């Protein structure tokens, strides 16, 4: 099942180190079969606020996503970005193709029914 790395980047400041980071990041992804799915600041916010831009990476699985983030190659270039761009990064597993949100609703209702009310 695929896994994803998602970054919400804010307060971007142009800097030569950021350009170097961008030039080198693909070489850190390739050994872990990672690829960009989204990268940029062209967003259409429909609810709430979204200051900044987003990056979405896909990996074959969570193990590959973790291995990429923790790799020496990525850790070497990471400060090139973090010194100039604030952000949050999360790794998470994808869903199976047969995912049904009604099943999730049923599980949440069942858990709530088992929890004594206060």
Residue 17 confidence (pLDDT) above 90: yes
Percent of the chain past pLDDT 70, that is, above it, reads 99
pLDDT at position 117 over 80: no
User: How far, CA to CA in Å, does 104 sit from each of 5, 23, 95?
Assistant: 23, 41, 12
pTM here is: 0.89
DSSP for 25-77?
HHHHHGGGT-EEEEEES-----SS---SEEEEEEESSHHHHHHHHHSHHHHHH
Mean pLDDT for all residues in the chain: 95
**Cα 84 to Cα 34: distance, rounded to the nearest angstrom:** 24
pLDDT (average), residues 91-105: 95
Predicted confidence (pLDDT) at residue 43 exceeds the cutoff of 70: yes
């Amino acid at each position: 099942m695929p896994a994803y790395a998602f970054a919400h980047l804010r307060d971007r400041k142009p800097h030569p180190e950021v350009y170097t980071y961008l030039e080198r990041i693909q070489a850190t992804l390739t050994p872990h079969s990672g690829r960009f799915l989204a990268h940029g600041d062209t967003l259409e916010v429909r609810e709430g606020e979204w200051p900044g831009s987003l990056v979405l990476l896909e990996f074959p699985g969570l193990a590959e996503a973790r291995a990429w983030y923790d790799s020496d190659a990525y850790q070497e270039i990471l400060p090139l970005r973090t010194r100039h761009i604030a952000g949050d990064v999360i790794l998470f597993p994808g869903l199976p193709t047969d995912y049904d949100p009604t099943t999730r609703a049923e599980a949440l209702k069942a858990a709530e029914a088992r929890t004594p009310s206060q």
